């Protein structure tokens, strides 16, 4: 009999466990449906075409009203001596990686927010200041942000930057895919200015096809890897390169969306408030039993 009930107990616990995981995986899929809009846009960056003219850096600053030196100043190639990262004053930067042998070219890599399909920043933001738009952009709302910087902790590409120098109303800054321009049918500023057409703006699905076609046609020119196709569940920005991406300081990331694990855990602990309420009931029961036990032992 005791055995029976124990087995029963195990069965129920297993069921509850399955229920929780079931619920959580459902929640994962039930993320905002526009996230995987088939018509979402993207940019294909062909690093073998980029010449490191840094015009995109200038155009991006102009488009976002950020202070910038005149465009001629960007011809200065000494900046390539150091690796740079996008920050609160520059939403995109180009880095150059020297050739490995004399018959090779240096590789220039433009860096900015990748506009992930399942963005960690969107999942992490405490107040939902980050949102994934239908066209693929991940944008930030200054009216919500409280400046906790959890989005920065979460982003696998280490992109969002914060205005640490500002005492009042500091902002989180990152590439917004020129949301205000694309909304009006314009190209992103960096894409528009690029003299080499290293950047291609288009439907993400088509860009993936184009990228693979290029690899097929010129196998000696590219490594067989479209960075961003599967990384952290896919990103809107896609990269082609002649070298292994780790040599170009791209982070090595798996295929799972960055927020997947936390959201599963989170929704497991909170699944429809069942676990907290169950715990509450359990503790209440224990308290009540102990109270009564005390009473009876006192009257004895």
Partner 1 sequence: MENLMKPTPISKKFFTPGVIVLSIFAFIGIVFVILRLLFGLGAVTNLSNQYPWGIWIGIDVAAGVALAAGGFTTAALGHIMRKEEYHILVRPALLTAMLGYTFVALSVALDLGRYYYIWHPLIMWNGNSVLFEVGMCVMIYLFVLYIEFLPIVTERFIGRVNFPGFLKVLNNPVDKLLRLLDRTLNKVMFIFIIAGVVLSCLHQSSLGTLMVIAGPKMHPLWQTPILPLLFLLSAISVGFPMVIFESLITSRSFGLKPEMNLLSNLGSMVAPMLGIYLSFKIGDMVIRKTFIYLNEINTTSILFAIEVVIGIVVPLRIFLSPKLTKTPFGLFIGSALVIFGVLLNRINNFIVAYNPPYKFTPYFPSIGEIGVTLGFIALEVLLFRAFVMIFPIVSVPQYVTPQTKFTVRGA
Interacting residues toward partner 1 by CB under 8 A: 31, 83, 85, 87-88, 120, 122-129, 144-150, 152-154, 156, 158, 161-170, 249, 251-254, 258-259, 261-263, 265-266, 269-270, 276, 279-280, 283-284, 286-287, 290-291, 293-294
Closest approach, Cβ 85 to partner 1, in A, equals 5
Question: Residue 119 binds what, of partner 1, ligand SF4, none (CB under 5 to 8 Å, by partner type)?
Answer: ligand SF4
Strand partners, 294: none
Helix (H) or strand (E) segment spanning residue 132: strand 130-132
Residue pair 236/43 in contact (Cβ under 8 Å)? The answer is yes
Question: Residue 112 binds what, of ligand SF4, partner 1, none (CB under 5 to 8 Å, by partner type)?
Answer: ligand SF4
Chain residues 70-99 in contact with ligand SF4, contact rule CB under 6 A: 91-92
Other CB atoms closer than 10 Å to residue 7's CB: what's the count?
10
Strand partners, 173: 161
Question: Residue 189 binds what, of partner 1, ligand SF4, none (CB under 5 to 8 Å, by partner type)?
Answer: ligand SF4
Chain residues 168-207 in contact with ligand SF4, contact rule CB under 6 A: 172, 174-178, 188-190
**H helix runs in 134-270, sequence order:** 150-154, 179-182, 189-193, 204-217, 260-270
Separation CA 116–CA 248 (nearest Å): 19
Residue pair 172/151 in contact (Cβ under 8 Å)? The answer is yes
Q: Which of 138, 194, 198, 248 binds ligand SF4 (CB under 6 A)?
A: 138
What is the 8-class DSSP label of residue 144?
A: T
Total of residues contacting ligand SF4 (CB under 6 A): 41
Closest approach, Cβ 3 to ligand SF4, in A, equals 51
Residue pair 40/236 in contact (Cβ under 8 Å)? The answer is yes
Closest approach, Cβ 97 to partner 1, in A, equals 14
Question: Residue 253 binds what, of ligand SF4, partner 1, none (CB under 5 to 8 Å, by partner type)?
Answer: partner 1
Separation CA 117–CA 130 (nearest Å): 13
Q: Based on DSSP, count helices (H) and strands (E) in the chain, helices before strands.
A: 9, 9
44 or 271: CB nearest ligand SF4: 44
How close are the terminal C-alpha atoms of the chain, in Å? 32
Closest approach, Cβ 151 to partner 1, in A, equals 9
Q: Which of 80, 150, 230, 270 binds ligand SF4 (CB under 6 A)?
A: 150
> Helix or strand or coil: residue 127?
coil
Question: Please, what is the angle between helix 274-299 and helix 260-270, to 10°?
Answer: 40
Closest approach, Cβ 125 to partner 1, in A, equals 6
Closest approach, Cβ 133 to ligand SF4, in A, equals 11
According to the binding rule CB under 6 A, does residue 31 interact with ligand SF4?
no
Helix (H) or strand (E) segment spanning residue 60: helix 55-63
Separation CA 274–CA 268 (nearest Å): 9
Residues of the shown chain interacting with ligand SF4 in the complex, contacts defined by CB under 6 A? 59-60, 63, 91-92, 112-116, 119-121, 124-127, 129-130, 138, 140, 145-151, 155, 157, 159-160, 172, 174-178, 188-190
């Amino acid at each position: 009999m005791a055995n029976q009930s124990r087995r029963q107990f195990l069965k129920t616990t297993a069921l509850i466990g399955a229920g929780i995981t079931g619920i959580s995986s459902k929640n994962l899929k039930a993320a905002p449906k526009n996230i995987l809009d088939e018509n979402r846009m993207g940019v294909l960056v062909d690093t073998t075409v980029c010449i490191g003219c840094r015009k995109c850096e200038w155009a991006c600053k102009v488009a976002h009203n950020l202070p910038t030196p005149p465009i001629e100043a960007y011809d200065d190639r000494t900046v390539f001596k150091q690796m740079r990262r996008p920050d609160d004053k520059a939403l995109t930067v180009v880095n150059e990686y020297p050739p490995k042998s004399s018959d090779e070219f240096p590789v220039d890599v433009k860096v900015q927010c990748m506009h992930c399909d399942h963005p960690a920043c969107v999942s992490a933001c405490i107040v939902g200041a980050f949102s994934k738009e239908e066209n693929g952009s991940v944008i930030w709302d200054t009216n919500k942000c409280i400046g906790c910087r959890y989005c920065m902790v979460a982003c696998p590409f280490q992109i969002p930057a914060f205005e640490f120098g500002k005492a009042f109303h500091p902002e989180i800054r990152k590439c917004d895919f020129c949301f205000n321009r694309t909304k009006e049918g314009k190209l992103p500023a960096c894409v528009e200015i690029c003299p080499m057409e290293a950047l291609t703006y288009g439907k993400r699905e088509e860009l993936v096809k184009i990228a693979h076609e290029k690899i097929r046609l010129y196998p000696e020119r590219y490594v067989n890897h479209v960075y961003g196709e599967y990384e952290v569940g896919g990103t809107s920005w896609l990269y082609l390169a002649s070298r292994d991406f780790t040599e170009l300081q791209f982070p090595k990331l798996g295929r799972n969306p960055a927020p997947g694990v936390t959201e599963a855990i989170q929704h497991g602990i909170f699944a429809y408030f069942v676990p907290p309420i169950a715990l509450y009931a359990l503790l209440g029961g224990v308290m009540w039993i102990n109270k009564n036990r005390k009473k009876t032992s006192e009257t004895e």
